[in-house]
Every structure is written in structure tokens, then in C-alpha cells.
Structure 1
Amino acid sequence: MTKSVRLEMKEHITSKEKKQIYVNQMFATIAPRYDRVTSLLSYGRDKKWKRQLVELAKIGPHHEILDLACGTGDITFMVAQKLTQGRVIGVDITAGMLEIAQRKKRRLALKTIEFELGDIMHLAFSEKRFDRITVGYGLRNVPDISKLLKEVFRLLKPGGRFLSLDFGKPANRIYRAVYLQYLTVVGSAHPAWKCRRLSIYS
């Protein structure tokens, strides 16, 4: 017999184990709307930021790239377009996200890209394999950032680069107040806000 357990946001922040469960369930729920939610929360600028991340990576045509917490694949596809003989692997723990990414892949017919279902906290790749490792909006969701960073640097080739994209608070006090108010209004109005409280079955 299963029972429904309500998981509050405050609980998942203070417990690594519960945080992992919360994050997995949250993204499974919002997967069909993830691209739209990200666009809303970034004022429609997320694609521009992701392109800037890829440009900063200075990707060579033969590079091997790992995109962590790839979600629906935005960064992964931008990287793939830079490659000719290289390869980019997008890894995400949420099957629903990868289903959307695979549909995009079929539509774009890119051959330099792979998607794998997996936990970025437990990667099975060999040491010093990748020239670049990227992550978009992912570090804040991992249960142990220090552990993940150790894994990232284990996987990077000498001279490789790790690039992370995430939201931050504007330095200007007025802009910060406006932005936080925007997040509150948009988050409260959007259906994905229900992900604050998920039913976890155990």
C-alpha cells in the first residue's frame, strides 16, 4: 500500500536526500512546460544567455562535450551545431525532459549528439574524456555541489573548460526588487507553481 507524503520546499532545501527526490519529481511534473517556464522567468532571454555560454566555451569541431542536466536539450543542440567530427552527450535524470529532447533531435537530424538518462551525481564516464562540460540552470538543484564539481574536474581533459549558466540576483537594488516581484507574480500565476508542493509516493 502506498501513502501520499507532502513535501514542502523548506524540507527539500535542508535535506540532501529529500532535495534529490523533490527536484526529480518537480522536473518530471513540469517537463511538458519547461521551455515556456524558463522563457517566462528569464524575460525571454534564456536562449540568448545559452548562446553566450556556448560562445564562451570556444568549442572546436572535434571536441567531446558533456552537457549536464541537459533538460530538453537547448544547450546540447547549440553545442552540436558547432561540431563536425566531435560529439556532445546530454545527460538528465528526468525521462520526460529527454523525451522532448529526442523529439527535437529527430526534427533537427543532428548526428553529433546523444542523450542519456542518468544522475549527474553518479557519472560512469572515463577520466579526462571531455574537452568541455556545460550545465544550464543545474548547479542549484544538485544535492552536493562540491561532490559534483570534483566529478566534473575528474572528467575534464587537461586544459578543458567547465561552464555553468544560472539565474542570479541583480546587483542594483531597484532592479533586484523589480525582478523578485516579477518572479513572484509569474511563478504564482503559472500552472507550474503547483510544483512547490508535490505528492511523493513511498
Structure 2
Amino acid sequence: MGANESWNKVDEYFIGKLKLSDPILDHVLRTNRESGIPEIDVSPSQGKFLYLIAKMKGVRNILEIGTLGGYSSIWFARALPESGKVYTLEVNPEFAKIANQNIQYAGYEHKVEVIVGDALDSLPKLKERGVAPFDLIFIDADKTNNPYYLKWAMSMSKSGTLIIADNVVRDGEVTNEISSDERIHGIRQFMDLLANENRIECTSIQTVGSKGYDGFLMGLVK
């Protein structure tokens, strides 16, 4: 049995044993797939991990950079109190439309606001609205702009804000200094900024599973 096959089987085992999916989440993933949205959402295990982190921390407002079809947005919404809010940014209008439909289907339209447009245009407008600082910021969009997303995340944080970035390992390519992939360069620049940022304490978590070999970056603003 190959490594990827083994990782998939273990994920399936835990998903079944720990009830990490349900008809609503299955419907969301099926809708996304049928709508042609890339299957690059977090896995069910990762979604529950993000949910638990948000719930343990008692967050009330979340900024998500990168919505896709709203799968992770729904996990976050489930973790929030009734008055909590997720502000999620999506550049693709068609994806945002599907995300809104999924969020409504899940019953969280009162907790999730999908903002359509380039995130680097939406972030300053969101800050002007006075909804920051956020308790948790999840960065999961185009990796080339990760350095800019980090700068905005820091400006929209407070002491105790948790910043999480997905897909920072990329099958180990993050260590490849001569990669021709601009996404890798974006992640490496993001890491360089963090290495010189004394306002945040960070760690990385490598992950394997149905999404292959990747990982999260987690940081707590001082």
C-alpha cells in the first residue's frame, strides 16, 4: 500500500469513527464538485480541527481569506456563538454564489458574510467598516499574495488573535529555494516575514491525509 493510499484510508477511518462529516457537509462538498469548484477545501478532519480551535478559543469574529464553496466557512460558523460572525473573502463571483447557497442550506446565512472581489481590495474596505480586530484569521487563498495577506492580518489583529495559514508545506516544496512555482515563492516570503515579526509567536504543523502532504502555519499575536 502506497503512502497516499494509506493516508486516505486513515482519514476515512477517523471520519467514520469520529463522525467528522454529516449530510449537510456532504451536500456542500457534492454541490461544490458538481459546480466545478476545485476540490481543494480542507478535509473533514482539518475542518473539525479548525472548528475545535475556534471553539476552544471562544472566538466571536473570524476573517477568512479564500472562501471557495464555503465548506470551511460553515465549520467556522458552527464554532461561533449565536452573535458571532465570519467574514469570508472570495474573488470568483461564481464560487461566491455557490458558497452563499451552501451557507444558506446549512442555516448559517446570519453568521457568514461572503464578500466578493479581490481580497487585497476587500481588506481595506472591511477594515474601514470597523469590524476588526478579529479573534481568528484564516489565510487560505492564492499563495502568491500570502505576504500581503499577512500584513493585513497583522493590521486587523489584537493581542490574542490567532492567525492560521493553510497549504504552507506543498509536498515539501516550501524548502525548494529554486522553485519555479510562484506559489512557493509567496509562501517562502510569508515565512521570511514571520521570521522577522516579533509581534507574533508561531509554529507549523505538517499534515498528511486525503489532501496529500501539506501543513498549517499557526501564530498567536502577542
Task: Pick the TM interval, shorter chain.
Answer: 0.5 to 0.7
Task: Give the 3-state SS of the residue equivalent to 2:114 in structure 1.
Answer: strand
Query: Share of identical aligned residues, percent?
Result: 17
Is it true that 1:47 corresponds to 2:44 in the alignment?
yes
Q: Provide the residue aligned with 1:174 in structure 2.
A: none
Write the mapping of 1:23-172 to structure 2, written as runs, cut at 5 A: 32-34=35-37, 37-38=39-40, 46-58=43-55, 60=57, 63-83=60-80, 84-110=82-108, 111-122=110-121, 123=123, 124-126=125-127, 128-136=132-140, 138-142=141-145, 145-166=146-167, 168-169=170-171
CA RMSD between the two structures: 3.1
Instruction: Give distance in 2, aligned partners of 1:75 and 1:61.
Output: 17
Instruction: Give distance in 2, aligned partners of 1:73 and 1:158.
Output: 28
Q: Provide the residue aligned with 1:24 in structure 2.
A: none
Task: Give the 3-state SS of the residue equivalent to 1:158 in structure 2.
Answer: coil
Amino acid at match of 2:67: C
- For structure 1, the residue ranges without an aligned partner over 5 or more in a row are 1-29, 40-44, 172-178, 183-202
Query: How far 1:61 sits from its partner (Å)?
Result: 5.1
Q: Deviations over 1:101-153 (max 9, x none)?
A: 111122112121111112222312237421111123x25243xx322211111
Instruction: Give distance in 2, aligned partners of 1:98 and 1:59.
Output: 28
Instruction: Give distance in 2, aligned partners of 1:38 and 1:51.
Output: 16
- Contact kept? 1:93, 1:118, Cα under 8 Å: yes
Instruction: Give distance in 1, aligned partners of 2:98 and 2:50.
Output: 22
- Contact kept? 2:89, 2:116, Cα under 8 Å: yes
TM-aligned CA distance change 1:59 to 1:133, over 3 Å = farther
What TM-score do you get using the length of structure 2 for normalisation? 0.52
Larger Rg: 1
Query: How far 1:170 sits from its partner (Å)?
Result: 5.5
Q: Deviations over 1:65-87 (max 9, x none)?
A: 01111111111110101112111
- Contact kept? 1:62, 1:85, Cα under 8 Å: no
Q: Deviations over 1:177-198 (max 9, x none)?
A: xx9xx9xxxxxxxxxxxxxxxx
Higher relative contact order (CA 8 A, sep 6+): 1
- Contact kept? 1:130, 1:160, Cα under 8 Å: yes
Task: Give the 3-state SS of the residue equivalent to 1:33 in structure 2.
Answer: coil
- Contact kept? 2:50, 2:75, Cα under 8 Å: no
Task: Give the 3-state SS of the residue equivalent to 2:119 in structure 1.
Answer: coil
Query: How far 1:168 sits from its partner (Å)?
Result: 2.3
- For structure 2, the residue ranges without an aligned partner over 5 or more in a row are 1-32, 174-208, 213-222
Instruction: Give distance in 2, aligned partners of 1:61 and 1:86.
Output: 10
Query: How far 1:57 sits from its partner (Å)?
Result: 4.0
Task: Give the number of aligned pairs.
Answer: 136
Instruction: Give distance in 2, aligned partners of 1:162 and 1:97.
Output: 24
